[in-house]
């Protein structure tokens, strides 16, 4: 991977993704370009915020950011190209969906997606870079809301609480009720339930 930096960029986007670890649902990314004339207080890693605080900040970001957008990779794509590449794809889609294209992109983590602009990867950037914190909040709220919707369709799996992550409750529900179309067949607990059969590509 090659990263580059840009001195004094005019428009900086932060990018982060949510949902690498779950057994079910898409991986969702967000890209945000904050407005320096409308600073937002309280931005940090979305995982450190209460759901109520995340929702409040997400609304503030959507109202005051210069631009924001979501990108995603579906379960089928995750199974086809693996979760790492699917995460990069979701982040690429989020940046490309921005109504304003940035001069520079800050990416949470240790690698960057394939973008035609200046980029830098920042480990734990969601704690130190306001743009990335904003992206992490937007992405998590969007994905959590989607998993709440799945909970209505499939209440036995507890998606409202586990958000698709491999909790004891979720693993037991897999055993009792089987694999859903929203489950990632390439992930070991799901693959085991399918009897280690060859995956359909």
Closest CA to 30 of 82, 72, 78, 59: 72
Q: Which CATH architecture has domain 12-143?
A: 2-Layer Sandwich (3.30)
User: What backbone torsions phi and psi does residue 120 show, to the nearest 5 degrees?
Assistant: -150, 140
State the pLDDT at residue 36. 93
Task: Look up residue 105 and give its two tokens.
Answer: 């992109």
Q: Please state, in angstroms and as integers, the Cα–Cα distance from residue 137 to each residue in 2, 44, 70, 164, following that order.
A: 27, 8, 11, 18
State the pLDDT at residue 1. 35
State the pLDDT at residue 9. 52
CB 65 within 8 A of CB 35: yes
State the pLDDT at residue 194. 87
Q: How many CB atoms lie within 10 A of CB 172?
A: 13
14 DSSP β-pair partners: 32, 106
State the pLDDT at residue 50. 94
Please report, for the chain, the start and end positions of each structural domain, with discontinuous segments joined by +.
12-143
Per residue in 42-60, pLDDT (tens digit) is 999 999 999 999 999 999 9
**Mean pLDDT per segment of 10 residues, for the chain of length 201 residues?**
49 97 98 95 94 97 97 98 98 98 96 94 96 98 98 97 97 95 96 64 30
Cβ-based neighbours of 10, under 8 Å, separated by 6 or more: 103
Element holding 136 (H helix, E strand): helix 130-153
Per residue in 63-92, pLDDT (tens digit) is 999 999 999 999 999 999 999 999 999 999
State the pLDDT at residue 10. 84
């Amino acid at each position: 991977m090659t990263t580059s930096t840009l001195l004094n960029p005019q428009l900086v986007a932060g990018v982060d993704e949510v949902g690498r670890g779950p057994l079910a649902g898409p991986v969702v990314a967000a890209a945000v370009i904050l407005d320096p004339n409308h600073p937002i207080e309280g931005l940090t890693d979305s995982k450190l915020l209460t759901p109520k605080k995340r929702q409040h900040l997400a609304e503030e970001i959507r109202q005051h950011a210069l631009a924001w957008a979501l990108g995603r990779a579906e379960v089928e794509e995750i199974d086809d190209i693996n979760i790492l590449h699917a995460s990069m794809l979701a982040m690429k889609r989020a940046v490309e969906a921005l109504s304003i294209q940035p001069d520079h992109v800050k990416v949470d983590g240790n690698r960057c997606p394939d973008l035609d602009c200046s980029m830098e990867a920042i480990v734990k950037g969601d704690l130190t870079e306001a743009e990335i914190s904003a992206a992490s909040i937007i992405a998590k709220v969007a994905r959590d809301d989607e998993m709440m919707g799945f909970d209505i369709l499939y209440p036995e799996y507890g998606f409202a609480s586990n958000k698709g992550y491999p909790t004891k409750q979720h693993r037991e529900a897999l055993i009792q009720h089987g694999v859903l179309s929203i489950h990632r067949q390439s992930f070991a607990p799901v693959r085991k339930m399918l009897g280690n059969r060859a995956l359909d590509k």
